[in-house]
Amino acid sequence: MAIVASGSCLERNAWICGDYVETRSDELSAALREHIGLTLSAVAIGLVIAVPLVLLARRWRFAVAWISGLANILYTVPSLAFFALLLPVTGLSTTTVRIGLVAYTLVILFRGLLAGLDAVPADVRDAARGMGYGPLRLLITVEIPLALPAIMAAIRVATVSTIALVTVGATIGHGGLGDLIYDGLTSSFKSEVLTASVLCVALAIVADLLLVGLQWLLTPWRHGRRARARARGTAV
């Protein structure tokens, strides 16, 4: 991509250049939208796959080793090699990038969800069963709420790591902000590299903060418990 010389900072090829942001706002917006879309779809599909796998592993514990082993194998495959293996089937498309991203989220989501549900105290489960709770009701109304902090932690890690991995998709032309970073590096366009990199970091921070806020909204009982603990400490 050629450097546009339409302003002093562009002519100097400065790292920080407001003219670049102004003249390339449409390009930046399109790259950011693609980055967000790939991240959201990868994490969502990863959850859709991970949830039944976790339920299967909890029912048949011997499956934990098999599922974890397969997820670990997928996770250890270098991203570039993974994309290369998919190219004959899916070509140079966002599907290739998305499949790779989903594969990398599975090990994080599977481990996190399973660990969170396994951490629910056995006496709580026994008490719920004694009150007539069936397996589905027990899972939805007791186990998932108690495991929610661990589940949200896994989703946060998967989301932030996916945001970073999306940039690798630039090697096949579908890397969101990574496309701009790659173009800027190949053409030594400093402001393009810095702006896209800052946006990528900012996206990861914003996504993490949004998920922290969502966890806060979904676990109101934890805030009340902390407030009561602080009140008792103050009273003492």
pLDDT in tens, 126-157: 888 888 888 888 888 888 888 898 999 999 99
Q: What residues contact residue 147 under an 8 Å CB cut-off, 6+ apart?
A: 113, 116, 117, 119, 120
**Domains identified in the chain and CATH numbers:** 19-235 (1.10.3720.10)
- pTM given for the model: 0.83
Give the chain's mean pLDDT: 83
Higher pLDDT, 219 or 34: 34
H helices of the chain, in order, are: 8-11, 18-23, 25-59, 62-76, 79-90, 94-118, 122-130, 135-138, 144-166, 177-187, 190-218, 220-235
Give the pLDDT confidence score for residue 155 in this predicted structure: 94
CA distance 169 to 91: 12
User: Residue 59 is encoded by which pair of tokens?
Assistant: 């029912």
158 pLDDT exceeds 60?
yes
pLDDT one-digit tens code per residue, 77-103: 777 777 788 888 887 888 888 988 998
pLDDT one-digit tens code per residue, 196-220: 899 999 999 999 999 999 988 887 7
Q: Angle at which helices 144-166 and 94-118 pack, to 10 degrees?
A: 150
Q: In the 8-state DSSP scheme, what is residue 3?
A: P
18 CA to centre of own chain: 30
3 CA to centre of own chain: 33
User: Residue 106 is encoded by which pair of tokens?
Assistant: 């599975």
Amino acid found at 165: L
189 in helix, strand or coil? coil
